[in-house]
Amino acid sequence: MTDVVQSFSEFFANLGLPTVLIFVLVMLVSLWMLSSMNSRVNWPPGPVCFPVVGCLPQLMISGRRRQPTDLLPWYDTYGDIMHIQLGEQHMIMLGSYELIEEAFVRNAATVSDRPTWIYPIRRLVGKDGAGVILKNGHAWKELRRFTLSSLRDFGLGRKSLQEKIQDEARYLVQNIEDENGKAFSPRDRVAKAVSNIISFVVFGVRYDYEDTPEMLSVLEESVRMNKGGPLAFTNLARLLFPKKKFVLVDKFYSLIRQEVERHRQSFDPTDIRDFIDLYIKVTQERLDPEIYTEWNVFRIIVDLYSAGTDTTANTLRWSLVHIVNHPDVQKRVQKEIDQVIGQGRVAKMEDKARMPFTEATILEVFRMSTVVPMGGPHATSEATTLAGYTIPKGTIILGDLYRVLHDKKNFEDPYNFKPERWLDGDGKVIKSDKMIPFSIGPRICLGKGLAEMESFIFLTSLLQNFTFKVPKGENQPSGVEGVNTITFTPHDYNVCAVRR
C-alpha cells in the first residue's frame, strides 16, 4: 500500500501544478455530473450551483450568523420559490403562504414525506423512518391517528389535563417567588414546568424543581448540538456531524427504555395510566405487526417528549423576553387578568374568550418568535407540480414559516412586537390564514392544542402574580436574534420577578 501511495505521489509531482489542477477540476466536474441525476429538470430560480458542493459556499456565507433572517435577501433576488442544491441533494424553499398552502395542503398527497434518506435522520430512525414525526406513507397516517386519539384519551382538550397545567403553574409561581425579586434566569424553570406536563402524559410522573431529570438534561444538550446547518442535508454530514450528538441520542433512548421497564413491573392492561402503558399494551396485542412495531411506538414516545418540551418551553422563554421589553404590554395583560380572573384562582381556558388582549399578546409571540422557523422538512414521494415547476421525486421541500410571519405583505411592521395588530376596532381577536407557526396540512404540529393551552395558562399565571423587569445594569434581551438550530431559542437572559 505504501508503494502505491508513493507511486501516485511521484506521478503527480512529475505532472506539474497546472496539470494537477486541471485533473482535479475534471474529476470534480465528473463527480458533479454523476451526482446530478436531475440535471435536465426545469428547477425554480436559485443561486448558482457549483460542481459537487452545489450552493453550499453561498449558503454558508449567507447563513454565517445562523439567524432565521439570514436567507431572507435571497427571496428578494430569486422569488418566493427557490431551488437550492446542497452537495448532491436538491431542495426547494417556499417563502410565501400561498406556495406553502399549495405544497402542504393541495399537494399533500405527494409532498408529505420526510427525507429519511439524509444522514442525520437515517442515523436516528433508520432508512424507513419511525414514529409519528419521521415516518412516511400509510404507516405514518395510521400512527398519527393513533397518537392523536391516545392524546385525547389522556386528557388533551379536557379538564383533566388543564388541571395538571394549572397545578404546574402554581408550582412554577412558588418556585419563582423564592427568588424574592432578585435577578435570575428563567430558562431552566420554564423547561422543567413544560417538561412536567408532557412527562405526566407520557410517563405518568412529575419532577420537583430541585431535581433536574436526566432525560431533560440530555434532551436539551442534544438539541443545542444540532448545528450541522446546511451540511446536515448532504452526505458530508456523515463526516462532519458531531458524534457526541448520537451518543446523547442513544443515552436518551436508554433513559426512556428504563422508564418502559419500570412500567412493566406494575403494568395492568385494565388500567392504562400513561402513554408508556399504552405502548406496552399495543406491542403485546400486536394489532398490526407491520405498523405497531416496538420501534415505531417507542419512537412516538421520543417524539412526544422531545417536541412537547423544547418548542413550548422556547415559546414561554420568548414570551418573557417580549414582556420585559414592553412594559406597556405587560400592564395591559395584567389589567385584563385582574378584571377577568382576579387573584383568587388560576386561569382556565374558558377565560381566554374574555381576554382578547392576552390572546393577542400570545399570538404575537407565536408570530414574532417562530420557534421552528423552517418547520419540519417535507419531501416529494413522487413528481409533483409547484408554481408551474415539475419537482422530481426525492426532493426536500422546506416551508419558510419565519418569512411568512415576517413578510410585510402579511403583517405590517413585522419586526416590531405589536399585539394590537390582532385586535379589530371592537377589541375582538382577528384571525389570519397567514398565521402558521405550527405549519399547515397533514403534517401540522400535532401538539398545537397542548402548546396553546400551556402558553395561555402559564403566561397568565406568571403575570397574575409577578411584574417582570430587566435587572438593573443589564441590557434588554434581544427580541429578534437568538440561537437557531432545529428550534429558535432566545439568548440566555435574566429577569427580576417582583411580587404584585
Using N-to-C axis directions, what is the helix angle for 243-264 and 294-325, rounded to 10°? Answer: 110
- To the question of whether residue 445 is assigned a binding role by annotation, the answer is yes
The one-letter amino acid code at 349 reads: M
| Contact in structure between 99 and 80 (CB atoms under 8 Å) | yes
Instruction: Residue count of the chain, please give it.
Output: 500
Q: How many CB atoms lie within 10 A of CB 264?
A: 11
Q: Which residues touch 398 (CB under 8 Å, ≥6 apart)?
A: 91, 92, 93, 94, 374, 375, 377, 378
The dihedrals phi and psi of 130, each to the nearest 5 degrees, come to: -170, 160
Q: Which of these, 275, 229, 263, lies nearest to 84 by C-alpha position?
A: 229
Strands 89-94 and 129-130, bridge-based pairing: unpaired
CA torsion sign, 314 to 319 to 322 to 325? negative
- C-alpha span between 330 and 497 (Å, rounded): 12
| Contact in structure between 48 and 218 (CB atoms under 8 Å) | no
Q: How many CB atoms lie within 10 A of CB 353?
A: 10
Residue ranges of the annotated binding site for heme are 445
Residue ranges of the annotated binding site are 445
